[in-house]
Amino acid sequence: MRRKRIAVWAALGLLVAALSVVAAGCGGGDDEAGASTDIEGLGTSLEEIQTMARDEGEVNLVQWAGYAQLTDEFEAATGCKVNTKDGGSSDDMISLIQTGEYDGVSASGNASVRLMTTGDVAPIDPDLVPNYADVQEGIKDQDYNSLDGQPYGVPHGRGPNYLMFRTDDVPEDTDSWGVIWEDDQLAKYKGKISIYDDSIFIADAAVWLKATQPDLGIDDPYQLNQEQFDAAVALLKKQAPNVGEYWPGTPASQIAAYTNGDSVVGTTWPYQYLQLTNADPAVPVKAIKPVEGTTGWSDTWMIYSQAAHPNCMYLWMDHMISPEAQAAVAEGFGEAPVNLKACDLTTNENHCSDFHADDEAWWDDVYYWTTPVEDCGDDDDSTTCVTQEDWKTAWTEIRG
């Protein structure tokens, strides 16, 4: 009997060992794709792409909620059915794209750089995307959407992270982030503060510290040395007990909270602001870019390097920077469009100026989401910055 027992344990141990070896040996799949625009199954000319897309019949996208617009028109024109999956955070989207089940993703800077580095997304051939020529030059070839001089996708639009508050609870002339950082304000709005639930929010604390504690020397809120980082984390830990909701990137719960009055002040995206003000009855909210500046995002549609439907994806990318789609996105989500031809098509003719599409100066103090890197991304070898991994760990601690 005892020998049998030993035999069984030995067998189990062998099984564990074998599986470990298998799991260790079998790679995660994606070797670093060479920086080639070639994707298996992609046509080589516009006509070919259009024909092959009809055979593909569908395109699967990972997106921020509300990004895909005019999908019915797209399907009618190209024969590609659009299936979308909403991601709550950039980390979420990276995980989803890495399952290999999707053709493309609307990546913010804190996802795009990582995806480009791992080779999960492929560079695009601008010749195969006719509308690319109309994209604002100031948005092309940036750190977050190009690598080694190659463009890695089509810009989607950009926007700020607003400070939003209910005007029946918070003074209408509020213009500073102090309302969610200063001690007396935290006490006043305790339990009704709404904060985005992602480690990237540490950068928002850094933006506040940049303005209020200049001796910390913060310049780029995403590249922080240990001292700056610790100060930001301490600030967030002080804020945490007063936060009513850490909203998860799928906007419905924040919209419900503001509607019911469970939240009265916090950070948000233009989408929620538009939903609340267009609701029936409208919710009395105001959304501003405070005087200290804010974080924001400039998003890019990128194609998965092993996309199953690359032709449909190329057509989708072209569609999303067409003036019609750009106008729809701008008004549906509250983006500033990147194709200024859309400005003539928006229902609200002042949309582009309201959302500062052409006003580069306005974007000077909007710090687009990006990924912290250990060498701080500067040319100075002596500086080291806190890594993305540590941002992530710190966020778990901040949430408590």
Partner 1 sequence: MTSVSAPETPPRAHPGRRLSTFLFRHPRTRLALLLALPVAWMVVVYFGSLVVLLVSAFWDTDPFTAEIVREFTLDNFKTIIERPVYRDVAWRTIQMALMVTLADIVLAFPIAYYMARVASPRARNLLVVAILLPLWASYLVKVIAWRTILSDGGVINWALEPLGLSFDGYSTVGLWLVFTYLWLPFMILPVYAGLERIPASLLEASADLGGRSLTTFVRVIVPLALPAVVAGSIFTFSLTLGDYIAPGLITSEQFIGTVIYNIRGQALPTAAAYSFVPIVVIVLYLLVARKLGAFESL
Partner 2 sequence: MVESTLTRVLLRVGAGLTLAFIYIPLFLIALYAFNQNVTQAWPIENYSTKWFSVAWENQGVRDALWLSLQAALGATIVALVLGTLASMAVSRYRFFGREVISFAVILPIALPGIITGLALQATILDVLGPLGVSFGLTTIIVGHATFCVVVVYNNSVARLRRAAGSLDEASADLGADTWQTFRFVMFPQMRSALLAGGLLAFALSFDEVVVTIFTAGAQQTLPIWIFATLARPAQLPIVNVVALFVILVSIIPVYFAARLAGGAGLTADRPAKGSVAAAVEAEP
* E strand or H helix at 366: strand 366-368
* E strand or H helix at 86: strand 81-86
Nearer of residues 238 and 399 to partner 1, judged by Cβ: 399
Binder of residue 102, out of partner 1, partner 2, none (CB less than 5 to 8 A by kind): partner 2
Stretch that binds partner 1, among 74-82, 218-226, 246-254, 310-318 (CB under 8 A): 246-254
Binder of residue 244, out of partner 1, partner 2, none (CB less than 5 to 8 A by kind): partner 1
Spatial separation of the C-alpha atoms in residues 109 and 92, rounded to whole Å: 14
Q: Which of 16, 77, 133, 279 binds partner 1 (CB under 8 A)?
A: 16
Q: Which of 47, 99, 361, 396 binds partner 2 (CB under 8 A)?
A: 99
* E strand or H helix at 60: strand 58-63
Task: Please tell me what DSSP assigns to residue 282.
Answer: P
Look up residue 248 and give its two tokens: 């998860």
Q: Which of 11, 44, 54, 100 binds partner 2 (CB under 8 A)?
A: 100
Spatial separation of the C-alpha atoms in residues 315 and 305, rounded to whole Å: 16
For partner 2 (CB under 8 A), the number of binding residues is: 30
Interface characters, 294-323, with partner 1 (x: CB under 8 A): ------------------------------
Stretch that binds partner 1, among 150-158, 170-178, 224-232, 371-379 (CB under 8 A): 371-379
Stretch that binds partner 1, among 21-29, 75-83, 224-232, 289-297 (CB under 8 A): 21-29
Instruction: Please report how close the Cβ of residue 203 comes to partner 1 at its closest, in angstroms.
Output: 16
Partnered with residue 245 across adjacent β-strands are: 194
Instruction: Look at the block and give the residue holding tokens 């989500």.
Output: 333
Nearer of residues 209 and 276 to partner 2, judged by Cβ: 276
**Contacts by 81-88 with C-beta closer than 8 Å and gap 24+?**
81/57, 82/58, 82/316, 83/58, 83/59, 84/60, 85/60, 85/61, 86/250, 87/62, 87/63, 87/249, 88/248, 88/249, 88/250
Rounded to 5, what percent of the chain is helix, strand, coil? Answer: 45, 15, 35
Stretch that binds partner 1, among 146-154, 158-166, 361-369, 385-393 (CB under 8 A): 385-393
CB neighbours of residue 98 within 10 Å: 16
> By CB under 8 A, is residue 136 in contact with partner 1?
no
> By CB under 8 A, is residue 282 in contact with partner 2?
no
- Residue 357 class from Cβ within 10 Å (0-12 exposed, 13-18 middle, 19+ buried)? buried
Contact 363, 158 (CB under 8 A): yes
Q: Which of 11, 133, 252, 291 binds partner 2 (CB under 8 A)?
A: 252
> By CB under 8 A, is residue 118 in contact with partner 1?
yes
Instruction: Please report how close the Cβ of residue 95 comes to partner 1 at its closest, in angstroms.
Output: 4
**258-281 core/surface letters (b: 16 or more CB in 10 A; e: else):** bbeeebbbbbbbbbbbbbbeeeee
Binder of residue 245, out of partner 2, partner 1, none (CB less than 5 to 8 A by kind): partner 1
Q: Which of 85, 140, 356, 392 binds partner 1 (CB under 8 A)?
A: 392
Distances (CA, A) of 350 to 88, 138, 198, 327, 357: 30, 21, 33, 12, 10
Instruction: Please report how close the Cβ of residue 390 comes to partner 2 at its closest, in angstroms.
Output: 23
> By CB under 8 A, is residue 248 in contact with partner 1?
yes
Instruction: Please report how close the Cβ of residue 126 comes to partner 1 at its closest, in angstroms.
Output: 26
Spatial separation of the C-alpha atoms in residues 376 and 1, rounded to whole Å: 62
Interface characters, 12-31, with partner 2 (x: CB under 8 A): ----------xx--xxxx--
Q: Which residue, among 146, 139, 138, 140, has the nearest Cα to 113 in the 3D structure?
A: 146
Binder of residue 399, out of partner 1, partner 2, none (CB less than 5 to 8 A by kind): partner 1
> By CB under 8 A, is residue 244 in contact with partner 1?
yes
> By CB under 8 A, is residue 5 in contact with partner 2?
yes
Stretch that binds partner 1, among 19-27, 275-283, 323-331, 335-343 (CB under 8 A): 19-27
Instruction: Look at the block and give the residue holding tokens 């792409």.
Output: 49
3-state secondary structure at position 253: helix
For partner 1, the binding residues (CB under 8 A) are 15-16, 19-20, 23-24, 28, 91-92, 94-95, 114, 117-118, 191, 197, 243-246, 248, 253, 256, 260-262, 371, 373-374, 387-390, 392-393, 396-397, 399-400
